[in-house]
Structures are given as structure tokens and as C-alpha cells.
Structure 1
Amino acid sequence: MSAAILSPLAGWATPIGKVADPVFADAMLGDGIAIDPVEGRLVAPGAGRVENVHPAGHAVTLALDSGAVLLMHIGLDTVGLGGKGFAPRVAEGDRVAAGDTLIDFDLDQLARTARSLITPVIVTNGDAFAIANRADEGAIASGAPLMFLEAVAADLAAEAIDARALSVARTLSLPLAHGLHARPAARIATLAGEYDARIELEAGARSVSARSSVAMLGLALGHGATVTLRGAGPQADAAVDALTALIESGMGEYVPVPDAPAHPVASETMPVRLNGVVAVPGMAIGPAWRIPDMASAVPEAGADETVERARLHAARAAVRKRLAEAADAEGAAGEIAAAHLALIDDPMLEEAAARQIARGKSAGAAWREAIAAASEPLRQTGDKRFAERIDDFADLEQRVLTELYGDAIAPPSPPDGAILIADTLYPSQLMALAGAGLAGIVTAKGGATSHVAIIAAGIGVPMLAGTGESLNRVEAGTALILGAGTVRIDPDPSQLHAARADAALRERRREAARASAHEPAITIDGTRIELVANCGSAGEARAAIAEGGEGCGLLRTEFLFLDRAAPPDMEEQRAACQAVADALGNRPLIVRTLDIGADKPAPWLPMDAEENPALGLRGIRLQLARTELLETQLRALLAVEAHALRIMLPMVCDAGELEQAKAMLETLAHEAGRAPPPLGIMVETPAAALTAATLAQSAAFFSIGSNDLTQYALARDRTNPAVAAGLDALHPAVLQLIDATVRGGASHGVWTGVCGGIAAIPEAVPLLVGLGVSELSVPVASIAEIKAMVRTLNAAQCSDLARQALTARDADSVRALIRPLMEEAA
């Protein structure tokens, strides 16, 4: 028997294999053809009975009188629209004639909100009908012949299942955000077909075969629905276990189900508050938003091997060109692009992808497999030092896939003012969202030194990292308050009101501060505080001057050394520092020598893994262990022409380290025929703070690195979210170490600055001024606000306040002392 199927849409016919969704392209639901519509009306392709209309209105199943069962699915991922733009004109059980309207849809609205409007028309009972002929690719009118079917066997899909024979059973709740729609139904049916077992999916009084995606769609099961899997046969136990695991995974659409009977994670409530590591300080209020997983748009099967290899080659070439252009830019984004540029031509990746294409994979699937193979050895080490390298590979994967499939895998834009939440975030993803109006970022993984954190700081978006897997239970759209090392989830109205009032006050302060950013920071009673910037490039130095900065109090040089096969030579280092000096003009420049080690590994520097890298071979210890590194850097700095160049050593703990480096600097300066620049140290350890008077005999200045000083004083790893929330630089112990540093330096006429995070905390500034700190080095975005804060202070009053804070009980008590002064300043 032959049956003609008419086109249910006017548009452009497309082979099903070209649909950018493997559920359809790989015929997981059945064979057919797709149509890209040009008008918003889906009609019946023949006479028959409506088997099912999906609750979201985007799909309909029709049992034709000829016996063929067709699924028509308008668009890709349109189930997530929740019915917006769709108007079904039929219901389950209705009789229809060819040409009767099934669904009206708003073509313009959906074109703006849907990933794609391509509409697969699928023959779901392919065991009974084969497609003998189908329309050519190109324009097709509604009602024109679309395909012809030939009956090949009796329809077995309706085979009855004897419930009494199904001895294996498992009950669970559907954690699928959009219920049991086409994609998860297809995956369940495909998996069920891999086992020698008869599996039934039961919901209420209805039972259907788990091998029939259409039958499962007919159950119209929504999120949270209770279903029972029943099985019989040699592999029934394994099949039910596998299908349970697949459904409970959420298949990329997981949303917890309260009190779910068989999923322990789903029964957990959404957390109220999560702690993490502050990657970028700041405050944000907004709805949670996730980047949708678009991985399903990458087809597994490829076309001709030569075609797929050419596609991958072209995509990599395009990515290489973009990376090369980005690598020429200044700052962190340029450095990250340069690191990824080195990976794109890795022969191992190219060979692995070629092998996969030869096995029939598409260009995208092959590239994904190659990246996974390269990442797995790093992942298996369990060494967190390699976490960022794995992220680099993943980011490179995303770049090439985007080039291959474009809009098909491009996520929609976030709502303005949203807080992006993610398990892991990659640099290219964040750079693509740089102008999208994000208010903040929260990640379950990562840390303060990741590439993403560096980019977030550059675009001025507050970020909290390492909050843990509980973040994955936060639903999109949930109100969040981000700030001070925590994210508050679904706060009550009073908390939201207080947070918004606080945010409005901060914004007013920032605007007022910018108006007087270029005026000096002098207290009411005449104490001058120098406000300089923490920089990593000439571009940041220029931005600092534009914001009112009086110089650079910390030039981080480690970016020159990371993510490359060999360390930079003397000329490259000189040129990079000279560019910063030129940007500053006659303003002071403090350059910190190389601060890397086991905590910040470089590919060209083999190092053994360390149990406690923060306490290991890093900073000045590494420089003195590898003196050629320090010598090259000092030679480069001695060749820089700068009005007020100073050099600063990181992680100094005792006078011997300082004196050894100072002797080297003096020798090299003598060889260069010039006077050595002033040599100071970072005070980052309690040892340095407590022996400041001794160190001041050789140091020209001190600059307190409060981030490390705090973690060492309080014995809390600042990269560990389980304890990092307790890090508080206002703890009296930390303030006492700052006080010891200032007093020790003053005993030999040595001034003390602060370049750590505490310098940019407004409530800490009165204490630092009161303790005698004379220079504050802060992120560029904080310069104007901190200068304005200093102008409201009375140094003598601050001194009295600081003395009280030194003997306070804890950080909260210190804040209570400061609060009246802050309220007065507001």
C-alpha cells in the first residue's frame, strides 16, 4: 500500500539529516523531512485522527487513515517557550481532513525567540512504513506532495504489554524542566531499544512501550509527573536501571522535583545562601540566568570525509584568525587569546579529530572528541593546578563549534541586569556576553585566579566563584543578592529592599566620586594619601590615569610568563614594562617581580605537585631558586626609562631573601651604568609583618598584600570556598599585623602602602589611614570612590578608631566601631 503525505507548511524543504539537532538528524524519532516555514499555519498532511497535542502547543501527532503516524514539531527547543506564540486549533481525538488547520503560530514572534523554526515532519512508525520518495530540497507549497510512503510490515507499535509479566519496577518523578517532550522521549526510546527486554512506561492508568517515543509523547507528562518503569526479559533489570539513571539525570534539562520518590538530589531544597571565593568584588541584585546547553545542535554523523575535514579546517582557520587579532590587544583578554592561539594548531588535536572524521563523525563531533581526549589526562591527575588548562581546552572547543554551527549553538541574550550562574564558565562565553548587561556572575567551580575572573574584573562585573554543586539547584529566574563573598538565594522582600537601597547609595557615591576623581586625596586635617592603581598592562595604566590614579602601585608581571611554551626574553619584558611607564608619564611605577610557583604554574617551568602550593615554592623563593629568571627580569627593568621606577619582591619572609635579591640588583645596575631603582617588598606573611623593623633596614618601602596576609594570619585558604567566606581582612589579627608593618617601617623611615583587596574596601580605609598607611593601590574602578572617601576623614579621629580596632574581639566588632563614621560619611 502506498500513501501520499502532503506538506503541512509552506516554506523550504530540507533533508532531515541537515536539522541541527541529533534527535531529528539521527532519526532517533524516525525518518522524514523538515520544512523551514514562511507562514504561521500548520495544516493536516492527510485525513486522520489527532493522537496528541503537546501542552506547549508546538508539536502534534497525527494517525493518518492510511496507518502512518506522523509527528510535526514546529521549531527546535521551542518547548522551552511554554506555549508563547502557539495556538493549537485541535485536541486529542479530533478527526481532521487534509488541509485542516492544526496549529497557528506567530512567525515573527517565534523568529525572535526560538533557536530555529525548522519543522521536522517525522514518520514515527517506520517499522510499518518506509519513505519511497520525498520532495526535493527547495521551495514547497502547503498541500503539495511532501513524501510517499510504502507499507512494509504490520504495525507492531501497538503490541500489547502484559503488565503481569513485567516483574521489574521502578517509580520516579520526572525532573525534566519541560516534561517528556520529543528530545527526552527519543533518548529514552533509543536506550530502551538497546536492551533485550520489554519496557513499559506507566503514568496513572495508562501504559505505553518505552521503545515508542510517540506513545510516550501521548502521555503528555509534565515536570514532576510520577511515572513507573516496568520491565521483563533477560536484561530487564539492567534496562530499568539504565533508563532510571537517564531520566533522573535530567538529560540537560534537570530541575529538582520537591519530594521526588527516587531522586535524592531532587528532594533537596534550593539553598538559601551559598559562600564562595570573591573573584571580583562588588554587589549585584538580579534574577539568576543560565547559558542554555546547546550541545545537542552538534550532529554526530558526518557527511563525506573530505567535506567534514575541509569544514573543520576552515573553522579552525577562522578561529585562528580571530585569536591572532585578539592576541594583539593589551591586557588579560589578549594574553588569554595568545594562550588559546598556541593550542588551536596542536598536532595532537588535529590528528585526533581526523581519526574521528574517518570513523564517520561530523566535524563538530570529531573536534569535541579530540578536545575530550586531550583534557582527560589532565582531569585524571586530580591536580587542581590543571583545572584552568582543562577550561582552556573546553573554551577552544566552544570557539570552533560556534564557527561551525553559528546561530544553531549560540545561546540567547540574558535579561538585562541578570546574574549569570554556571557550573563552569569559559572565557569566550563571557567575552561574548561582555556587553549584554550582566549584573554579576556566580560559578560552582573555578577561583579568583581563573581566566574568567580576570576578564570579569576587566569588564567590571562582580563575580563569586567556587560556591559548590548546590548552585546547580538554583532555578533560572530566582532572585539573587551577590556580595561580600556570598550569594543570597530567593531573598524575602525586606532583604531585597535593603539590598536595593544599599546598591542605590553605592551608585550615588560612585557618581559623586567620579566628578572629583582628579583632585588629590587629602584628609580634613591635611594628611595626604596617595591613590594609585593595580595594573597588568599599559591599557589599564591609561585607564587608571583617566580615573584619577596617581600612578601604578602594583604592576603584575606574571601574565608575561604564563600560558606559553618558553619564558619571555629580556627585550619582551622591557618593552612591556616600558609601555606601562610611557602610559604613566612622570607618575610612579612599582613593578612586582615574577610571582608564580606551584600555585600558578607555567608550562615551561616543570614543577612537582605540592600538597600546599600556597606554602610552597613561589614568589621570591622561586626567583632565588631559579636565579636566571630574576636576573633576566632585573636586567629588563634596569633598561626601562621611567621617571619613578621602583621594584617590589613578592612573598619575602626574612631579611636574607631581601638582601640576596638586593645584592643582585646592585651588581646588575653597576654593569648597566646606572643607579639601582628603590627595592621594596610585598608584606604578605606574618613573618614579614612581625620583623618589619629588621626588613626596613634594607627595604626602600613596604606594600602590604592583604589577600595573602589575611589567609596566612587566619589559616584559611582563599581558594577554598569551604573556608574562604571566613576570610576577613578587618579581623583584629590582620589589623595588628598591618600596624606592626607600619611601625616597623617608620622606625627606619620606610613608608608603607597597601595593594591588597582591603585597600578598596571603603569601611577599611579609615582604619588604614589611622594606622599610618600612606599609599593605597586599588583596582582602576575603585580609585575615584576611595579618593572621595579619604577626603571625608579626619586622620586624628581615624587614629583613635584604629587603636580601638586593634583590641576588638573580632571583625564584626571592628565593623561596629566603624559604622557610625560610615553613616556620617554617607
Structure 2
Amino acid sequence: MHNNNKELTLSAPLSGPVLTLGKVPDAVFASGAMGDGIAIDPLNDTLYSPCAGVIIHVARTAHAVTVRADNGAEILLHLGLDTVELNGAGFSMLVSENQRVSLGQPLLRYDQDQVGQRCKSLVSLLILTNSHDFQVRPITLKAVKVGEPLLHIVARNGSVASVEASAGPEVRGQVRVAHRGGLHARPAALVRQTAQGFNSQSRLHFADKSAPCNSLIGLMGLAIGEQDEVQVSCQGADAEAALQALLSALATTLPDDHHAKAPVSTAPLKHPAEAGVLHGVCAAPGLVAAPLFRLNAISLPADAGNHDPAQQQSMLDAALNAVRSDIAATLAQAKKHNNADEESIFAAHMALLEDPALLDAAQQLITQGRAATHAWSQSIDAQCDMLQGTGSALLAERANDLRDLKQRVLRALLGKAWHYDVPAGAIVAAHELTPSDLLQLSAQGVAGLCMAEGGATSHVAILARGKGLPCLVALGSALLDQAQDQPVVLDADGGRLELTPTAERLADVQQAQIERQQRREAQQARAHLPAETRNGVAIEVVANVASSSEAAEAFANGADGVGLLRTEFLFVDRQTAPDVEEQRRAYQAVLDAMGDKSVIIRTIDVGGDKQLDYLPLPAEANPVLGLRGIRLGQARPEILDQQLRALLQVRPLRRCRILLPMVTEVDELLQIRQQVDALCVELNITERPEIGVMIEVPAAALQAEQLAEHADFLSIGTNDLSQYTLAMDRDHAGLAARVDALHPALLRLIAMTCAGAAVHKRWVGVCGALASDPLATPVLIGLGVTELSVSPVQIGEIKDRVRQLHEAECQRLSHDLLKLGSAAAVRHACQQHWPLP
């Protein structure tokens, strides 16, 4: 082991495949919030010391241990994810605090079966907790054995690291940026994260400007739009690999790009002048009446200068660390509650907080004698001006994230508790709210939000929708002139803030709020009862889930079963496919979470636009029309074979139903049936699980009768069926609103599917988003659907809707809807026939 004050080589503490932190399925570790490092998916049952040193911390629950190496580097070794929740069960710690250990000394043992079955993942972390003093450089990203060299740790003393990193030839490449809306925060964070996985120095060049790929602000400041051609340059030992990874990151659209779903125009519509009403843009729907409460930003006193730079820098560092720790806690909560929106927003904030462009600018001002508060404030303001000067609406909204960090760090510097004294139930008015403001206000029970500025695609808008808080943006500066505590009506759906509502109007809105809340409570109280129409037809209301924890939530919310378990969660963000046993455990956990109810498990649906690192597939011009779903299973039979083996070994097998995605012809179904029969014989299984087919391609709907002859059930995926029938990409910003599954053409295909299934007495379910739309419930029942698979939180609402309907009336009116000319006409007719409360 090479070890001096500057450099240290750490050996592998475990055997197994190596992953970069970005691939770890945990937001806090993946974002680097805990520090730099690497991960290993372990194949052995003992964790060994990666270096000589002293044990400085042993976790109470024996799942983690921290070693301080002789050069001062502090290395946290964390076995598995969420293993703290096991309370030490399955772990035995072999060392104690303050004990001296040698390289390769065993530190802890664990029971692989016991821990593996009960924790989220066995992926284990090696994290350098004092990353601000040292730099991590991976030696290998291949599988390692215990004791093999894993990574170098180099002291951060300025020149050593950068000289080594930039040594070697420079390589360049060009690519067209595929991200919707260009290089805004999320895709820029992806590029930054990719660059950080390599030692080489990399830069992005566009027009006559360039920025280092490790600076989120620098990347956003280039104002790169969708489909713009950019150049990437990399210099260093692994420059070629870095270049290919960065070109790929720039050319691959993010799977959950929220801006795709944002309204096409976020400019306020021109309304006729209306006394006592401000018009804005709806960022989150809802109607609420309450007193208006105006929030003001922190303002700083004048700065005389001549401060001690060392003292001010120390104060700023402490404030930054406090805010980092706050954000890490927010990330951990978001991850725990599977809140992907919140997670990605605050992971981007964490990246901004470590951005060299910001930190260097603040440090420079502090060196000139400025106070830490003013240095931080000015460095943020400069970057905000730069982003707003790009002319891009999306990037101007990202400046709001920077203002959020400005406020948070200033609060930490000024010693003021991060807390607004806002009365519960108020409607908050502000120039522009930040994501942190929103979380704080939501926790304080505010009723709604309105802003003078802001956009419907902002992070605040995404969070407000997730929290169910009505929110209006772009109301104009007149909002800030309103009197504190005046009663107002926030009609976000109508884009209106009513400043002088009559007593009668206020009473009506408040009554509507009370009724809505009472309705929700009543629905929840009856959510565990079966859903039957007024004439006694039973409709199963089941849940779409993607993990055992979501299944447990669905069960608690009254689900009659799982209508769709998406198994992709097991296959993504890793370097190798899950083996049969890992898959079996995951599927069994979902069955166990659902009591005695049945679970429909869809076989893997990746390919095309959803790529796996370990399953390289050719690039496709039209990915959604390419190698995906069951087609991938035919192209790579070993993946499907392992999945079917795992599914056939869950108990009891009668509660497990297998669903095949993207089927277009009967032969595909027959082939899988034969494969299942052969595996049952091989595994000595006498039972046979039910096998169903997803109807998400028009060809499958047109052949429903033939498929139903050999399938046990049919499940309609309205999301894909919509885009394939209407020839509109459902993620296209300009078309998303028109990809409506209540289009008469879609309804005809649903009717055809139900009629074909009835010939062979098979049942039909819907697992696409249309099942969660209460306006569509009577139409689907009328066309013959008897199972609705919805998001867990909507089970009570959809069951309540079913109980108000009469099947005969639904049948009569639904068939009339097939003759209408558009989705809008169908929605209007549904609202007339079966009005929503």
C-alpha cells in the first residue's frame, strides 16, 4: 500500500462488482451528500479494512464502521442500504472504537441471506467523509476481490491533482443535445455527475463560450437549447472513456423530464380588465379562500468591508455545511417516501451548493475583505443575472433555485431560524417562492400560494402539485401591494386571484373546501370495502406499484390487489442483471405485503428508450417502435428465462399472475406459455400461474378475441395504446395535452378488447393512467372493464365513484360516446352525464 501524507491506495473491503456513486439507488449517497467514494455489490460475507488506521466510529446497529487512515482520510464503510432499520439483526461487529486495525483486518461479518432478504439492497458504500480535504480517484470500475487496489486518495493541496488529471492527450467530440428544453438543471446535473466519474478534466463548448463539466452553473450558463450542436473536450488518462460517457449523457433524454409535461405556454393569457381580480398562470390546481399573507426576502445591512478573510471564510464554510446537512435530510425523507420529484430537485440543489463557479466567486470576494453574507449574496446574484441574461425562460427559472440557496445560507450565516411565522390556513403571496420555502410553508399548513413572478415549469410548481397546494404564478407586481390579512379567493384552475370577494363568495368557496375534505375522509373510511355498482356488479380496484413498500401502502389504502407490478425497478441503475434468487425475494416481498390478495407482475419492459448498462442494444431511430417489452425477451432469452424462474418460485403461486408487455400476435403468447410449462416440469411445479397479455398496441386490441383464447386475462395499458393509436409521442411538450385516452378511437379499441375477451369469458382490466381518472370510470365500466388498477392514493376515490354508478346506464351512454368526434367532446359529455363533485 502506497501511503504518505498526500496519497493513499485503498484496497477493496469486499468482493463484487464496483459501481460509481451515481449508480447507487439511494439519493443521499448518489448525490455525493455524504462525500465522494465508490460502491460494491458484495459477493462475500465479511467486510475488511481497506487500509491501516484507527476505528473512529462503530454504528450502534453494527452495519457501518469508520476508519481514520494514517494520512487523516476518514473512510466510512456502510454495508447495504437502509440496513440501519434492521437494528443489528444479522450483523456482528468484530472491532471497537479507538482500536488500531491493519490493512485487510476483518471489521464486520453479516448473514447474507438474513440481511439480503430484509434490506433494500446489499450495495455497500466506501465514502470519504472528509472529501473537502481529499480527492477520490477510482482505480477500477470492474469487479474486484478483497484486497485488490480499489481507489487512490489524494490530499487536496491544489496543484498535484489537477496536473495529474490533465496530463495526457486531449480528445474532442461533437453531439446534438437531446434533452427537452435544453441543458437546464436536471440534464446539467446528469452531465456533471457523469464527468465526476472520471479523472480527466472535461469542458463543454457552445457558440464562443465554454464551461467545465463539473460546474452546474457554468453548464446552464452556456444557454444550450434542445437540438443544439455542442463540442466536448476531455484531457487526462481516461479521456476517451470520459468523452464517450459525456457524449452519451448529452444525447440521451431524461426519462422523467417534467418540462415535457408542462403547459406549452407559461405566459399569462391576456384577460379583459376585471376589477378586483389579478390574472396569472396555474402552476398547481385548486380553489381556496383564506386571508392573504405577504412574505418578504432577507435584506442585508450595508457592508463596510475590511473583514478578516480567514474568519469570514470559516463562517461561510460552517453555513454551507449546515445547509448541506439540511438538504441531505430532505433528500433522505424524499427517498424514504418514494418522492422522485422532490428527490431530483434537492439533488440538483446539492450540486449547486458545491459548484466551483459559486464557491470560487464568494471566496474571491471574501479575500478582498467582504463579509461572508455579502460575498455569498453577490456571487449568487451575479450567477442569477447571467442565467436570466441567456434569454431562456427555463434557465431564468433555475435562477430561482440559486435564490433559494442564497436565502438558506444567509439564514444560516445570520443565525436566524429557517422559519416563517405564517398563520396556518393562509394564502401566501411572495415575489417568488423557492423550493425550500414551499416545503417549510407546506409543513406549516398554508392553504395556497401565489407569486408575482415564476413559471408553471418551475421546481416550485412541481412541488406544489405534489403537495396538493393550489398555486398561481406570474400575477405581476400588483400582488405585492395587497394589504396583509385581506380575505381573498385563489382560483388556480381559472388562473384568478379574487382580491375583493363578497361574503357570499367566500362562504361558498369555504363550504366547497369543507365538503371536499369530508368527501375525502368518507372515501377513505370505506376504501377497504369492495366496490360494487348500484346494481351489484363487482369492480376490482387494484394498484399500480413498483416495489414492496408501495405495495404495503396500497394494501393500507384498501387496494383489492396489485394490478401492475413494474419489475424494471430491479433491473435499472446497476451493472449486472439481478439473479433468480434476488428477483424471487423481491417478488415474494410484494406478495407478502398484499395479505391474501392477488398480484399481477409484468415481465421486464425495457429496451428502446429505456436502456440497461449491462444490456447494450443498438441505437434506434424510433425507440418506442423498436426492441422493447416481450420483443426484448425474445432477443435476449436469458433475461426472460431468469425472470420466469423467479416468478414460478413465489408462494403461493396461485396469487401470482404474470403479465406480458408489448404483445402483438398470438404466437408470442403461445411461445411464453410453452416456456412456462417447460420450466414448471424442470422445477417440479404442478401448479400453473395465470398468464395475461397487455393490450397496449393497436394490433393486440384488434386481435383481442384470438389472444383471449389463450390468455387468462387482458390488461389495457392506455398510456402506450394512446400514443400508438394517435401517432403522438406522449412525452412531446407540444402534444402531451392531446394524447388523451378518452379519444373516441381509443374507446373503440377498448370496446373491441372487452368484446373479444367476452367470447372466451376472460376478464379485462385497465392499468394505464385512464384507470385513475374518475371521469373515465363510468365509460370503462360501460365498455366491459371489471378491474381498474390505479395509483395507491386514489383507491378510495375510485371505489366511491364505482358505487355511484349503474352498469346498464354506463353501457347505454358509453356506446353513444364512441360516435363523438374528439376527446374533448367525450370529456364534456362525461361531465354532463356523470358530473364530478
Instruction: Give the TM-score of the pair, scaled to structure 2.
Output: 0.50
Which secondary structure does the structure 1 equivalent of 2:425 belong to? Answer: coil
Contact 1:732-1:806 at 8 Å conserved across structures: yes
Change (3 A) 1:535 1:295: farther
Alignment-derived partner of residue 436 in structure 1: 444
Q: Report whether the alignment pairs 1:804 with 2:813.
A: no
Alignment-derived partner of residue 364 in structure 2: 359
Contact 2:429-2:479 at 8 Å conserved across structures: no
Once the two structures are superposed, residues 149-177 of structure 1 have per-residue CA deviations (whole angstroms, 9 ceiling, x without a partner) of xxxxxxxxxxxxxxxxxxxxxxxxxxxxx
Aligned length: 546
Once the two structures are superposed, residues 581-608 of structure 1 have per-residue CA deviations (whole angstroms, 9 ceiling, x without a partner) of 3221111222345556776788999999
What amino acid sits opposite 1:778 in the alignment? V
Structure 1 residue 331: Cα displacement: 5.2
Q: Report whether the alignment pairs 1:646 with 2:654.
A: no
Any residues of structure 2 matched to 1:779-794 within 5 Å, and which?
779-794=791-806
Question: In 2, distance between residues paired with 1:760 and 1:572?
Answer: 31
Alignment-derived partner of residue 148 in structure 2: none
Change (3 A) 1:821 1:605: same
**CA-atom RMSD, angstroms?**
6.0
Alignment-derived partner of residue 543 in structure 2: 533
Q: Report whether the alignment pairs 1:730 with 2:742.
A: yes
Question: In 1, distance between residues paired with 2:603 and 2:415?
Answer: 43
Contact 1:295-1:409 at 8 Å conserved across structures: no
Structure 1 residue 540: Cα displacement: 4.0
Structure 1 residue 770: Cα displacement: 1.4
Structure 1 residue 735: Cα displacement: 1.7
Contact 2:288-2:470 at 8 Å conserved across structures: no
Alignment-derived partner of residue 742 in structure 1: 754
Segments of structure 1 that go 5 or more residues without pairing to the other structure are: 1-263
Once the two structures are superposed, residues 595-653 of structure 1 have per-residue CA deviations (whole angstroms, 9 ceiling, x without a partner) of 56776788999999988776677655667667676566556555554662234344555
Q: 1:542 is matched with which residue: 546, 549, 552?
A: 552
Contact 1:760-1:778 at 8 Å conserved across structures: yes
Structure 1 residue 771: Cα displacement: 1.1
Any residues of structure 2 matched to 1:221-236 within 5 Å, and which?
none
The sequence identity of aligned pairs, in percent, is 36
Any residues of structure 2 matched to 1:395-544 within 5 Å, and which?
407=416, 413=422, 416=425, 418=427, 426=435, 430-439=438-447, 444-446=455-457, 453=462, 456-457=465-466, 459=467, 461=468, 475=479, 479-483=489-493, 487=495, 490=498, 506-544=516-554
Change (3 A) 1:405 1:743: farther
Question: In 1, distance between residues paired with 2:779 and 2:512?
Answer: 22
Alignment-derived partner of residue 704 in structure 2: 692
Change (3 A) 1:320 1:805: same
Contact 2:295-2:430 at 8 Å conserved across structures: no
Structure 1 residue 802: Cα displacement: 1.8
Contact 2:605-2:629 at 8 Å conserved across structures: yes
Alignment-derived partner of residue 783 in structure 2: 771
What amino acid sits opposite 2:819 in the alignment? T
Q: 1:323 is matched with which residue: 322, 328, 338?
A: 328
Structure 1 residue 506: Cα displacement: 4.3
Contact 2:541-2:795 at 8 Å conserved across structures: yes
Contact 1:285-1:419 at 8 Å conserved across structures: no
Once the two structures are superposed, residues 103-135 of structure 1 have per-residue CA deviations (whole angstroms, 9 ceiling, x without a partner) of xxxxxxxxxxxxxxxxxxxxxxxxxxxxxxxxx
Segments of structure 2 that go 5 or more residues without pairing to the other structure are: 1-267, 483-487
Change (3 A) 1:801 1:501: farther
Contact 2:603-2:660 at 8 Å conserved across structures: yes
Q: Report whether the alignment pairs 1:680 with 2:692.
A: yes
Which secondary structure does the structure 1 equivalent of 2:700 belong to? Answer: helix
What amino acid sits opposite 1:795 in the alignment? E
What amino acid sits opposite 2:716 in the alignment? I
Contact 2:323-2:408 at 8 Å conserved across structures: no
Bigger CA drift: 293-302 or 407-416? 293-302
Any residues of structure 2 matched to 1:264-303 within 5 Å, and which?
283-286=286-289, 294=297
Contact 1:425-1:452 at 8 Å conserved across structures: no
Question: In 2, distance between residues paired with 1:515 and 1:744?
Answer: 37
Which secondary structure does the structure 1 equivalent of 2:443 belong to? Answer: coil
Which secondary structure does the structure 2 equivalent of 1:591 belong to? Answer: strand
Bigger CA drift: 316-325 or 760-769? 316-325
Question: In 2, distance between residues paired with 1:451 and 1:421?
Answer: 12
Change (3 A) 1:621 1:810: same
Question: In 2, distance between residues paired with 1:473 and 1:602?
Answer: 48
Change (3 A) 1:735 1:709: same
Question: In 2, distance between residues paired with 1:298 and 1:688?
Answer: 69
What amino acid sits opposite 2:657 in the alignment? R
Change (3 A) 1:664 1:719: same
Structure 1 residue 739: Cα displacement: 0.9
Contact 2:602-2:658 at 8 Å conserved across structures: yes
Any residues of structure 2 matched to 1:37-76 within 5 Å, and which?
none
Question: In 2, distance between residues paired with 1:628 and 1:395?
Answer: 49
Question: In 1, distance between residues paired with 2:695 and 2:396?
Answer: 29
Structure 1 residue 530: Cα displacement: 0.8
What amino acid sits opposite 2:695 in the alignment? V
Contact 1:514-1:784 at 8 Å conserved across structures: yes
Q: Report whether the alignment pairs 1:586 with 2:610.
A: no
Alignment-derived partner of residue 150 in structure 1: none
Contact 1:288-1:421 at 8 Å conserved across structures: no
Higher Cα Rg, which structure: 1
What amino acid sits opposite 2:455 in the alignment? A
Alignment-derived partner of residue 260 in structure 1: none
Which secondary structure does the structure 1 equivalent of 2:657 belong to? Answer: strand
Which secondary structure does the structure 1 equivalent of 2:543 belong to? Answer: strand
Change (3 A) 1:338 1:803: closer
Structure 1 residue 521: Cα displacement: 1.4
Alignment-derived partner of residue 717 in structure 2: 705
Question: In 1, distance between residues paired with 2:309 and 2:814?
Answer: 74
Question: In 1, distance between residues paired with 2:290 and 2:767?
Answer: 33
Q: 1:304 is matched with which residue: 282, 300, 309?
A: 309
Q: 1:551 is matched with which residue: 561, 572, 585?
A: 561
Contact 1:297-1:409 at 8 Å conserved across structures: no
What amino acid sits opposite 1:437 in the alignment? G
Once the two structures are superposed, residues 690-719 of structure 1 have per-residue CA deviations (whole angstroms, 9 ceiling, x without a partner) of 333344355443322334434554455555
Structure 1 residue 762: Cα displacement: 3.3
Structure 1 residue 265: Cα displacement: 12
Question: In 2, distance between residues paired with 1:595 and 1:288?
Answer: 49
Which secondary structure does the structure 1 equivalent of 2:834 belong to? Answer: helix
Change (3 A) 1:444 1:307: closer
Which secondary structure does the structure 2 equivalent of 1:587 belong to? Answer: coil
Question: In 2, distance between residues paired with 1:470 and 1:668?
Answer: 60
Which secondary structure does the structure 2 equivalent of 1:762 belong to? Answer: coil
Structure 1 residue 551: Cα displacement: 1.7
Structure 1 residue 529: Cα displacement: 0.7
Structure 1 residue 440: Cα displacement: 6.1
Contact 1:578-1:642 at 8 Å conserved across structures: no
What amino acid sits opposite 1:767 in the alignment? V
